[in-house]
Structure formats: structure tokens, C-alpha cells
Amino acid sequence: MNDEATRTRGIADPRPGGDGALTRRVRHDLAAFAYPAVPWTRGPDGVLDVLIVGAGQAGLATALRLARESVRDVLVLDAAPTGREGPWSTWARMPTLRTPKELYGTEAGIQAASFRAWYDDRHGVGAFDELRLIPRLEWRDYLCWLREAAGLEVRNDTRVTAAEPDGAHWRVTTEGPGGTETLRTRKIVACTGMTGAGGPRVPAFLAPLRPGRAAHSSDAIDFAALAGRAVAVLGLGASAFDNAATALEHGARRVVQLGRRAELPTRNAFRQLERKGLFRAFHTLPDHIKRAFAREEFALPTPPTGPSLERCRAHAGYELRLGTDVTGATAADSGVRLRTGPGTPDVDADFVIAATGFQVDLGAVDWLAPLAGHILRWSDVLPTAEGGAAREPDRPDRPDRLDRLIGAHPKLGPGMACRPRTAEAPAALRNLHLFNLAAHVDYGIACIGLNGLPQSADNVTQAVCADLLAEDAPRLLAGFRAFADGASAAGPHQEDAR
């Protein structure tokens, strides 16, 4: 069991610290700024307009925006219990969010629904101004409150097991507290974050040792059981340091952190990509420019924050070994022996944590696997992305490896929608939106995390609304004509009727 499980029990419906006035204000503002509030979508009977998979920050932000656009027949599903959606109560192991506290987007333009308003309501007016970074578990509590305050329909403990094309729509099978259920929907939006496009990237030599002697950093890890033991952590990214520190804080006798790079990265180059223009319109760039950006991004590490480094260095049992390439692992006694490259000593540990990132492989996602072969990928279009005067020259040490990473990503259209690979592919694919790590090459870093959430959620919402309108336009036109004919026959002073 994750060591934080006990801290998340009983938070199924956390409320702000006040008397409920903020929730009432959110609902008032949603009603006050809803004009025209009349629902305009109408699919076949028993068919949802949109099914959102994932009730984390992206799923809630998208659902709230759709509600503000009067798209009412929306359901959000999450496999996790309430309060454990996303990484905040599970595998995120930093005390605070790494992003600036001023980030926004979940509130969909309703100031009362923002984290700033919620935090001041819970802790007192002015508390947000005194805050340096957002505490991780407070962010979780805020998201739980937001869905209730905004009246979003969320169904927890419900896992999608299959998605089958139903003409241009979808028939989705779920497993939940009530057993197996089939839902029909016009649109699916997969808001499944870093883990939902293929899962963790685990070195092949560690796979046989999971879960008893090794884990990925996104796994549920019993850190209390590591007290007094030796732990090896693979990787130099921010999550590697967070896992190393968590093990030390739970009493690990020794933690050795291993990384291939000879120097520890100290500058976060990704901050240079935090520009509203890139967040809003990156997907409109030519393919060869997207590919050039992706090559640069995929070659870069995400450095640890200063506080993450200090968490580790505060412990005498911490050791950081740079320039160490781990090439293999074998079970040894009750632990693991890690083999390293020439000139570096092997490492013995009782337990290994691989903070080695996440992969994009739709074939590894249970409910997407049967569809993966029908979805256009970047590997299908890379030859046509070669040209263009703006293309950066290849660096000889990396193009093949980087292009393999790029090629695994789906080649997405408006609103992160899938595109068919062949003419025979199911028409419903255009109504499957991958608002997760899979969209990275086409949408940049806006598709993950908080930084570009306002723009990315807007992009998905606008595309979904455009598609629903295109499908409903004949019905809307017929209704308009019928009303106009009736109004003409009745005379010029009829009340507007909707």
C-alpha cells in the first residue's frame, strides 16, 4: 500500500474552511455568466455527448468548460477512489507543486472557482499572498472541492475496459461498483495525464524484479518497509530526487542515486517554452518545426528543484553517482545487484526505484490497444516532415533514437483528436481525443501539467464543440426554419421562444 493511503482516507468530499459561501458564489457565477444557457446539443437517445476518462485537473477543466458552453450531457469517469485521482495522493512525492502558484486554468474563467479563492477561503484572506508554493495535498483537496462546487458529474472507482466504434460514435464498457456497464457516447476525451498513453518506461533488465525487489517511481511503494535498507534510485530527473528523499525520510539506511550524465542539470530549459503563443497555437506549426522542437525537448532532462536536492543532501546516507550507466540487474540474496558500465563499480541494493519516465505506446493501454493500429502515428509521416527551410540540422549522435520516440506518438488533429491511419479505419477515431502525454509532439508541453492547461483545455473544448455542432447542424437548421415559418404565420409580435 502507498504510504500516504492513511492520509487520504476520509477526504471523499473535502469542503473549504468557511461556511459554504464560496461554493454558493461559484454556483451563482456559473449561472450569472451562462447566457445563452439553453442546451444546444442533442445526440441519439441514451447517447452521451462527451465521456471524459480521467477526473484529474485536465478532466475537470475540460468538463467545466464544456458545461460553460452548455454541453450538458457529459460524464467524467475515474478508476481511482475519490481523492486519489491523478498523482497527488499516490506517486507524486514532492511536498509542493513545482509550478508557480499563480498558474490557473481549472477554474474556466470563474474567479471564485480558482485555487487562490479556495485557499483564502480555507486559510483566511491574504493566505494565498503569503504562500510560496502550493502544497501538493492542498491541491488535491482543492480539485475535490472544485468538482462538487461546479456540479460536475463524476463517477469514481470506474475503469474503462473497452471502447468499440459504433458508427461514428462509441460504445464504452466500464467496470465499477455496480459491475459491468456499457455507455454510448459521441465523444471520448482521454484526460489520463503522464501515465495514460502507455504507462511507465521501465528498463527491460528490471522488469523481472518487479514488484518484489524493484518498482517504477509511479508504482505504489511501501516506503515504510524500506526503513533500515539500502535503496538504489535510477535517474536524474525531479521525480528521482523526490523518491530518493522519500526513502530517506522513511528511514532508509542508504540511498544511492545513479545517473548516466556526467553533470547534474541545473537549468530547466523547458521554462523557455512557457509562452502563451506556444501553449495556444503550437499545434498549428508545420510538422518539421514540431519535429525540431520535439527533438530538442526529448534530449533534455528535467532538473531537480533546489528544495528536492536539499531534501536528499540533508541525509548522511545519501550518495549521488553521476556518469554511471546501469546496464543490467540480477537478483542477489534478498536484494539486487546492478551492473554498471566500464570503470564504475556495480551497486548492491535491497530495493531499486526506476525514475525513468513514461512511454507513449497506445498498444500498451488496455482499452486503446485494439484501436492502436488504426491510429495515424508520427512514424507514418516522418518522411514528409524532413523538408522545410526552418528545419534544424540533425545532431549526429541522436536523430535515430529521438525519431523513434517521436514516431511512437499519434499524429493528432484539432483538439488532440485521433486521425485514421487508413481509409478503412473506424470513422469514430475522429471522435477520440487524447488529452494526455500522447499529444506532446503535436501540442507541445501544454498537453501535460498545469503550465498550459488554460489553453490546452480551451483547444479541446473548442474542437469538441465544433464537431458536435457540425453533427447537429441539420437538426438546428430544421428547428430554426420551423420556428421561423411558425413565427411568420403567427404575426410580428410573438415572444421569443427557445
User: In this structure, what C-alpha cell is assigned to residue 191?
Assistant: 484526460
Q: How confident is the model at residue 233 (pLDDT cuts 50, 70, 90)?
A: very high
Give the pLDDT confidence of 180-231 residue by residue, as tens digits. Answer: 999 999 999 999 999 999 999 999 999 999 999 999 999 999 999 999 999 9
What pLDDT sits at residue 268?
86
Q: What is the pTM of this model?
A: 0.91
Q: 71 Cβ partners below 8 Å, 6+ apart?
A: 39, 41, 49, 50, 464, 465, 468
Domain range annotation of the chain: 21-197+362-375+410-474, 204-267+277-354
Fold annotation for 21-197+362-375+410-474: FAD/NAD(P)-binding domain (3.50.50)
Higher pLDDT, 271 or 476: 476
Cβ atoms of 250 and 223 within 8 Å: the answer is: yes
Read off the pLDDT of residues 91-139 as tens digits, 9 standing for 90 and up: 999 999 999 999 999 999 999 999 999 999 999 999 999 999 999 999 9
Per the CB < 8 A criterion, the answer to whether 262 and 301 are in contact is: no
CA dist 348 and 224 (Å) reads 20
Q: Which CATH number fits domain 204-267+277-354: 3.50.50.60, 3.90.1150.10, 3.40.50.300, 2.120.10.30?
A: 3.50.50.60
d(C-alpha 441, C-alpha 472), whole Å:
31
- 366 pLDDT higher than 50: yes
pLDDT in tens, 327-365: 999 998 889 999 999 999 999 999 999 999 999 999 999
Whether the per-residue pLDDT at 421 is higher than 70: the answer is yes
Predicted confidence (pLDDT) at residue 12 exceeds the cutoff of 60: no
pLDDT of residue 39: 93
155: nearest Cα among 29, 48, 27, 43: 48
Query: For all residues of the chain together, what is the average pLDDT?
Result: 91
CA dist 265 and 277 (Å) reads: 27
pLDDT at 489: 62
The beta strand positions in 300-447, using DSSP E, are: 318-321, 326-332, 335-340, 347-349, 351-354, 432-436
More confident residue, 424 or 2: 424
Q: Check whether 320 has a pLDDT greater than 80.
A: yes
Residue 496 is predicted with a pLDDT of 55
Q: Are 444 and 452 in contact (CB under 8 A)?
A: yes
- Whether 21-197+362-375+410-474 and 204-267+277-354 share one fold: the answer is yes
- Average pLDDT estimate for 305-323: 95
CA distance linking residue 426 with residue 419, whole number of Å: 10
Strand 335-340 and strand 326-332: the pairing is: antiparallel
For residue 61, give every residue at least 6 positions away whose Cβ sits within 8 Å of its Cβ, in sequence order, or none. Answer: 105, 106, 108, 453, 457
In total, the chain counts a number of residues equal to 498
The number of helix segments (H) and strand segments (E) in the chain equals 15, 15
Residue 18: pLDDT band with limits 50, 70, 90: low
- The amino acid sitting at 151 is G
- Least confident piece of the model among 161-165, 433-437, 488-492: 488-492
Lowest model confidence (mean pLDDT) among 17-26, 83-92, 185-194 = 17-26
Give 269's pLDDT tier (boundaries 50, 70, 90).
Answer: confident
Q: Is the pLDDT of residue 14 over 90?
A: no
Residue with cell 501538493: 136
Residue 287 pLDDT grade (very low, low, confident, very high; cuts 50, 70, 90): very high
Q: How far apart are CA 138 and CA 282, in angstroms?
A: 31
| Contacts for 353 with CB less than 8 Å, ≥ 6 apart | 214, 215, 216, 217, 221, 231, 232, 233, 234, 240, 243, 244, 247
What's the pLDDT score for residue 265? 81
Pick the range with the lowest mean pLDDT from 220-234, 261-275, 404-418.
261-275
Percent of the chain with pLDDT over 70: 91
Each residue's pLDDT tens digit, 377-401:
999 998 766 543 333 443 434 568 8
In this predicted model, what pLDDT tens digit does every residue of 447-464 receive, in sequence order? Answer: 998 999 999 999 999 999
Confidence of residue 2 (pLDDT cuts 50, 70, 90): very low
Report phi then psi at 209, rounded to 5: -95, -5
Least Cα distance to 234 among 256, 215, 258 occurs for: 258
Burial of 272 (0-12, 13-18, 19+ CB in 10 A): exposed
Residue 6 has pLDDT above 90, yes or no: no
For helices 287-298 and 399-407, angle between their N-to-C axes, nearest 10 degrees:
110
DSSP H/E element including 457: helix 453-490
Asked whether the predicted pLDDT for residue 402 surpasses 50, the reply is yes
